[in-house]
Structure 1
């Protein structure tokens, strides 16, 4: 148990800069997962079979801390780290327990979104050995204020500090981190009280490599304080509404900058011109008031690998020199004014892997140029006029893995059905042998169109959320034995169709919410032993017998049974699902007492919503 801690991470390894506009400001698939807050978990439940000696020790210590906090300082630091992590992950940590960690050498303190965290919770850092604390994450702890930064100012060796969504932080609080000369990653997303005055504190953070200020709206005039940050390579200013051309001018000498995100700012062609000498690899300008003049500058950036001009007023004229972007791997042109001429300009890009043409004015004839993009893996042609004739050209793309095709605006008769292309020329189905993902939600795809998917055995993810799909269509897909995710949320699937799902032994995620499933249908699902996420909501005929079948899915982590007829008597069947962490029970006749008993005695990590 005294082994040296080997948990160090590179800053940002688990904390990805988000910037909404990178993916269009809205997800391609509507999300149905829910962020939940579980009940505190006691540690007097039976240990899991096969638990190691260290795991048993951690459980015992956590239980003793709940009764009376004793100092953990004499313990090896890797053990105290795991104790803190266990308390946080099980939502068992209380403010009083933190006294036990005074004097402990904790490398990571990660309490993002932890309920009830206040400034005083960090007092143990001020009184302990915080010299080895490298990473602190308090994101979305809404009660955190400037006083919290007073407690952590002695943690001079911090390398990563994440304070996203800490809405009470102000310029005054930032003064406490001015001496953090080892800090490489600072994230303050949504901290709207931070202004240009507070940005003066960044000048002393000489090791800073990643600075995330997304959705901070009062930064105008403060970017001159960043000019000495020679190691800074990533700067996220997405949705910073006060940022304009003058601010970007301050960045023109920062030659180490490779990733710049200025989506939804006031930056115009003038500001983009200030960036011409930077060796940018990523540039996101979605929604900026730029024109083709900016594209002339952008096309002169040979290092560029990822470019987004979504929602920008750029046209074909701006992309005349796009073939010079020889290192470009990802290009987002969605909702822009480009057409077929741009497709001709980019057809020679040797490394392009991802292309978003959502709502662009491209035609069937223009898609002919796409056949030259030999490295293309993913293309989005949602809400474009492209039909079968145009998409037939995609069969030449041997490495294509994903075709995204949401049709949000066109009526069903205009919705493109990719499978019809393959039906017309069945041999083409094998040409797309590397295709892994197809999304056909809200399209006019019907049962007969699904026949052509049968040869595409490389598919791992298939979205068929459509009322046009039924058991008949599902019968054509039983050859797709490699599927790991299948979305039939609104499809008309009955118990007969559910029986066909037994073919998908690798399935980990299933959405089956069309209302046609009964207990008999759920019985067929118990053979899907790799299932992790199961959504059976809206099936009003499900009873407690379904829970008996579900109890065989030992790896299940998320279960949605909203609007079903399950009762208190069925809940105990879930106790065998030791991996279950999320359970949705809206509009079910379930007593909170029964659920609390399940959590306390069997499933301490379980989070539940929907109880009356």
Structure 2
């Protein structure tokens, strides 16, 4: 370690005596590249078998954080190193009153303390000491008050600030941020501080590009203070019931607005008509608003509209022909509306449509025929009237990557109709009709005997002729014609029987009749990162053994099954696992914690907790 860098005895950097001294040439503006490049080797003991060795930088950061009480100040370290130490302490929830003081005047650029325990007004002295270096600040879910915002006047270059769910800040505190003219992004989700009067402070934020006021319940009439924010591109007022059509009038001058979220507000067709002049809008979220298909006339005037959410709007088939005018749509959500197959007829001309959500609509098999020529990549058909026969219309959607068929009428046999979906990466079969038999199709294991039986039954009329071919002349007409016929028909059956989903990354089969025998097929889906088999009550510890080879798994859910503590040992190879859910199983939180400590270093979320 002696060759890291030249050291001077007269410069105390970390407050740990002469052993913690470093050359003055590594100032705040320095780069950590010197540290990365100066260490050629890492001790073999620090490398986990089968995994990647941590970099020497990472090892140093971890050790410093482990002994954080030894250090009084990081202000002389290069800024990017002190930033990494700070981030590690936040990530591990190790930052507290004592360790925070070491970062006084460190010129940190990013202070993200959302969800960090213990954040309060007294921390602001250290935060504001970062001065003009501070570029982004997140104090979400903290107990900071109006007084905490006073010191931010010295952070003149602050560009992004997030104060979501800060319930102790009032409208008077907003006055202290009115001078932060460099702000480009500001978020105040569910804040009582944001009132119509308090929003006057936003009128000076002339460089603001993104404003998030989701669930702010007292902003009716306050949007008028945004008129001068001509650079504003994104506005989120979702779930603000106080917002009405009159508030939309205040937005008419925001010519650069590209993204507008006004879902679950009291907006009607008239309010939507006031948006006609905002031609740069690309994304519009009207979910849960009191609009009808009449608003489509106004939406057609938004010539760049590509993302539209009309879920839960109570739409019916009447007026649905106007959907054909939305030529540039890429993403359309019509979930939870009273629409039928009649609407799908008018989607045929949307040649740019990549994502379609029809969750809980009255869509049936025949309506899907209208979607066959679209470049769809994602489809939500959950809780519709679609059955196995309707899936034949999807077989040509070779760009489809995500498909949700949960709570539909699709059975095991229907899976064979998905053979053409070679791009499929995510599949949800959350249906009680799917059994072990259907799972065999996921890995391309054809039911050969079944295919042969079907062939014999349906084409027995040609079999006697085939049996009478002349063996002495295999090229004869009887052999030739009937063998070609047999071969063609046999191939046709296998084109439906062979389904290869080996590239699946996400698979959900919940609430069905899946047993350990069916899971044998899943174990061959080697690219899976998400697997949800919850509500399959017959699964046992054998299932964990079968999937132990799926080392890419990041999320696993096998709740409401017969899994026990004994079976947890089979999860040890799943080093990438971040989330594990085994609720209503014979599993205890203490045993999962042991597994986390000894074998699953990346596991950050598990249930039972």
TM-score tier, shorter chain, comes to 0.7 to 0.9
**Residues 397 and 420, structure 2, Cα contact 8 Å, conserved in 1:** no
Distance in 2, matches of 1:231 and 1:445, equals 49
Q: Does 1:354 align with 2:354?
A: no
Question: Match of 1:403, SS?
Answer: strand
**Residue number among 425, 431, 440 corresponding to 2:396 in the alignment:** 431
Superposition pairs of residues 360-399 of structure 1, within 5 angstroms: 360-364=337-341, 366-397=343-374, 399=375
**Residue number among 538, 547, 558 corresponding to 1:516 in the alignment:** 538
Gap runs ≥5 in structure 1: 7-45, 313-334, 586-608
Which residue matches 2:518? 497
Which residue matches 2:386? 416
Which residue matches 2:286? 285
Which residue matches 1:405? 381
Distance in 2, matches of 1:537 and 1:291, equals 41
Distance in 2, matches of 1:445 and 1:110, equals 46
Distance in 1, matches of 2:394 and 2:262, equals 41
**1:482 offset after TM fit, Å?**
0.6
**1:48 offset after TM fit, Å?**
5.3
**Residues 454 and 476, structure 1, Cα contact 8 Å, conserved in 2:** no
Distance in 1, matches of 2:292 and 2:583, equals 48
CA displacement 1:431-463 (0-9 Å, x = unmatched) = 122222111222222222223234433211111
**1:429 offset after TM fit, Å?**
5.8
Q: Flag the 1:54–1:349 CA change in 2: closer, same or farther, 3 A.
A: same
**1:376 offset after TM fit, Å?**
2.4
Which residue matches 1:323? none
Q: Flag the 1:161–1:246 CA change in 2: closer, same or farther, 3 A.
A: same
**Residues 315 and 339, structure 2, Cα contact 8 Å, conserved in 1:** no
Q: Flag the 1:242–1:387 CA change in 2: closer, same or farther, 3 A.
A: closer
**1:510 offset after TM fit, Å?**
0.7
**1:380 offset after TM fit, Å?**
2.5
Superposition pairs of residues 237-252 of structure 1, within 5 angstroms: 237-252=237-252
Distance in 2, matches of 1:192 and 1:133, equals 26
Distance in 1, matches of 2:512 and 2:521, equals 14
Which residue matches 1:472? 437
Question: Match of 1:527, SS?
Answer: coil
Compare 575-584 and 257-266 and name the one that shifted more: 257-266
**Residues 484 and 509, structure 1, Cα contact 8 Å, conserved in 2:** yes
- Which entry has the higher C-alpha Rg, 1 or 2? 2
**Residue number among 559, 564, 587 corresponding to 1:542 in the alignment:** 564
Distance in 2, matches of 1:232 and 1:541, equals 52
**Residues 296 and 323, structure 2, Cα contact 8 Å, conserved in 1:** no
**Residues 174 and 193, structure 2, Cα contact 8 Å, conserved in 1:** no
CA displacement 1:562-606 (0-9 Å, x = unmatched) = 333346678645412222212213xxxxxxxxxxxxxxxxxxxxx
**Residues 517 and 542, structure 1, Cα contact 8 Å, conserved in 2:** no
Which residue matches 1:221? 221
Q: Flag the 1:298–1:392 CA change in 2: closer, same or farther, 3 A.
A: closer
Distance in 2, matches of 1:101 and 1:54, equals 19
Which residue matches 2:322? 345
Compare 201-210 and 46-55 and name the one that shifted more: 46-55
**So what's the TM-score if we normalise by structure 2?**
0.77
The Cα RMSD (Å) is 2.7
Question: Match of 1:186, SS?
Answer: strand
Which residue matches 1:73? 75
Distance in 1, matches of 2:235 and 2:265, equals 13
Which residue matches 1:583? 606
**1:381 offset after TM fit, Å?**
2.7
Distance in 1, matches of 2:338 and 2:247, equals 33
Q: Flag the 1:368–1:234 CA change in 2: closer, same or farther, 3 A.
A: closer
Distance in 1, matches of 2:501 and 2:145, equals 52
**So what's the TM-score if we normalise by structure 1?**
0.77
Which residue matches 2:494? none
**Residues 146 and 169, structure 1, Cα contact 8 Å, conserved in 2:** yes
Distance in 1, matches of 2:532 and 2:295, equals 44
Q: Flag the 1:475–1:150 CA change in 2: closer, same or farther, 3 A.
A: same
CA displacement 1:515-551 (0-9 Å, x = unmatched) = 222222221111111111111222224342x222110
**1:156 offset after TM fit, Å?**
1.4
**1:82 offset after TM fit, Å?**
0.4
**Residues 244 and 265, structure 1, Cα contact 8 Å, conserved in 2:** yes
CA displacement 1:187-241 (0-9 Å, x = unmatched) = 1111023212211111221211111112112123333322222222222222223
Question: Match of 1:161, SS?
Answer: strand
Question: Match of 1:98, SS?
Answer: helix
Question: Match of 1:347, SS?
Answer: helix
Which residue matches 1:133? 134
Which residue matches 1:40? none
Q: Flag the 1:483–1:271 CA change in 2: closer, same or farther, 3 A.
A: closer
Q: Flag the 1:272–1:558 CA change in 2: closer, same or farther, 3 A.
A: closer
**1:355 offset after TM fit, Å?**
2.7
Q: Flag the 1:252–1:370 CA change in 2: closer, same or farther, 3 A.
A: closer
**1:486 offset after TM fit, Å?**
0.7
Larger RCO of the pair (alpha carbons < 8 Å, separation 6+): 1
CA displacement 1:444-495 (0-9 Å, x = unmatched) = 2222222323443321111112222221111122121011111122222211
Q: Flag the 1:385–1:129 CA change in 2: closer, same or farther, 3 A.
A: closer
Distance in 1, matches of 2:555 and 2:509, equals 13
Superposition pairs of residues 86-125 of structure 1, within 5 angstroms: 86-125=88-127
Distance in 2, matches of 1:55 and 1:117, equals 26
**Residue number among 551, 561, 564 corresponding to 2:582 in the alignment:** 561
Question: Match of 1:372, SS?
Answer: coil
Q: Flag the 1:551–1:138 CA change in 2: closer, same or farther, 3 A.
A: same
**1:105 offset after TM fit, Å?**
0.7
Q: Flag the 1:289–1:225 CA change in 2: closer, same or farther, 3 A.
A: same
Gap runs ≥5 in structure 2: 5-25, 33-44, 444-499
Superposition pairs of residues 148-167 of structure 1, within 5 angstroms: 148-167=148-167
Give the number of aligned pairs: 508
Q: Flag the 1:225–1:374 CA change in 2: closer, same or farther, 3 A.
A: closer
